[in-house]
Amino acid sequence: MKLKYYVVFSFVFMFIMGLYVYSLESQSYTYNLPFSTAQLTLPVAIWILGIVLVFFIMTLIFFASAWAKEMLEDYHRKNDYDKLLTQINEQALNQPIKDRVYKRKAFGDLSKILQRFYLKPRLDSVESFNRKIDSLFETYKDVMSGKVVDLKKYHLSKDNKFNLQNLKNKIKANYKNGFNLLDEDYPNELQSYAILEILKNGDSKDLNKLVAQLHNLTLDKTLVQELLQVYLKYPNTIETKHLSESFKNVGCEAFEYIQYAKESKGILSPDEWIRFFEECADNDEKAEMALFYVLFELEMIDKAKERHKSHAKGEYTAIDAYLDLKASGKNYPFDIFVLS
C-alpha cells in the first residue's frame, strides 16, 4: 500500500471512529498530569482518537525506517553493481584491477571469481542496454576499426594495449603525430611503429628530423631495413657510420649484409657503395663477405686481394677458391660462393 493511501485511510477512519464514539459517549474524562497539579479534561472520543493517532504516528515511524533501510540497501546494491561494472571494464581494457570493498558478499564473491579470468569484449554480441558496458564496446569497436578515440576518461596507462592501438591509429592517420611520441616514455612497440610510419611516409625534411632523434631510440631489424631504404633514397640524410652501427646493434648476420649489398647495387655510386660497406666491415666482421661481394661486382680484384691479405690464412676459404678460379681464367659469379 502506498503511503498517501494509508494516510488518507487513517484520517478518514479516525474521523468516522471519533464521531461514532462521541455518539455513544459524549461525556468528558479528566486526566491529572503527572508531577503537576494541572488537569486535562477532554471528551472521551478525543482521548480515544489521541491513542489511535499515537498508533498512527508509530506506524509512520516504522514505515519510514523500513523505507530508509530499503533506500540504503538499494544504494549499497547499486554501488556494488557499479564497482563490479568498473572492474569488468578494467579487465576488458587490460588494466590493473583495484582493490574494492563490497557491502554485499555476493558481489564480493563474484568480483573475486571474475578476477581469475581474462575478459575480452565480443564485438559480435548484442547490446546489454547498460550504458557503461555498451559505451565501452562502441569505443572498443571504433579503436579496433582504426578510428582515433578520446580515451582520457578511462585513465589508461601508457603501456596499455588498448591505448597503444589508439595511438597507432593516430599515427596512421597522420604520421607526423609520431614525432610527439618519440620523446615520451612509451613502449618500444609504439615507438618502432611511429618510426616506421615516418620512414615510409616522411619527406626529406621529416627524415632529417627523425634521424636527429634516432640516437636515443631502440631500433630493430625491420626499422634498420627501412633506414637503409631511406639512405638509398636520400644518401645525405643518414651518416653511414650511424647506419653501420645500427646494423651491428640489431645483430645483422652475414647473409643479411650481403642482401643489403645486393639491394643497394646500382643505386649507390661505385664510390658510395664501396665506402658504405667498408664502413660496415670495419665496424662488424659479419659484413666482410658483403664487402668482398661489392669489390668483386666492381671488378676491383686487386683491392679485394689486398683486403683478403689482412685476414688470417684460411679464414675465408671461399675467397681463396674464387681468386684461384679467377687466376686460372674461369669466371664464375661470386653469388654462388656467397650462397654456399
pTM, whole model, 2 decimals?
A: 0.61
Shortest CA distance to 159 belongs to which of 190, 182, 117?
Answer: 190
Q: Which SS3 state, helix, strand or coil, does residue 42 take?
A: strand
Shortest CA distance to 292 belongs to which of 279, 282, 278?
Answer: 278
DSSP state of 29: E
Q: What is the pLDDT of residue 307?
A: 87
Digits of tens for pLDDT over the chain (340 positions)? 577 777 788 788 888 887 877 787 777 777 777 777 777 777 877 878 888 888 888 888 888 888 888 888 888 899 999 889 888 888 888 888 888 889 888 989 999 998 888 888 887 788 888 888 888 888 888 988 899 999 888 888 888 888 899 999 999 999 999 888 887 888 888 888 888 888 888 887 888 788 777 766 777 888 888 888 888 888 777 788 888 888 888 889 988 999 999 999 999 899 999 999 999 999 999 999 999 999 988 888 888 888 888 888 878 788 888 888 877 777 777 777 765 4
**d(C-alpha 294, C-alpha 272), whole Å:** 11
Q: Are 304 and 295 in contact (CB under 8 A)?
A: yes
Q: What is the pLDDT of residue 230?
A: 83
Residue with cell 660496415: 280
Cβ-based neighbours of 328, under 8 Å, separated by 6 or more: none
Cell readout for 332 is 664464375
**d(C-alpha 186, C-alpha 158), whole Å:** 6
Distance of CA 78 to the CA centre of its chain: 28
Q: Are 325 and 340 in contact (CB under 8 A)?
A: no
Cβ-based neighbours of 162, under 8 Å, separated by 6 or more: 93, 94, 140, 143, 151, 154, 156
Terminal alpha carbon distance of the chain: 95
Q: What is the pLDDT of residue 95?
A: 82
Q: What is the pLDDT of residue 309?
A: 85
Q: What is the pLDDT of residue 1?
A: 55
Shortest CA distance to 193 belongs to which of 162, 172, 221?
Answer: 172
Cα-only R_g, the chain: 43
Return the exposure string of 26-54: e unless at least 16 CB atoms fall within 10 Å of the residue's CB, then b: eeeeeeeeeeeeeeeeebebeebbeeeee
Phi then psi for residue 41, to 5 deg, are -115, 120
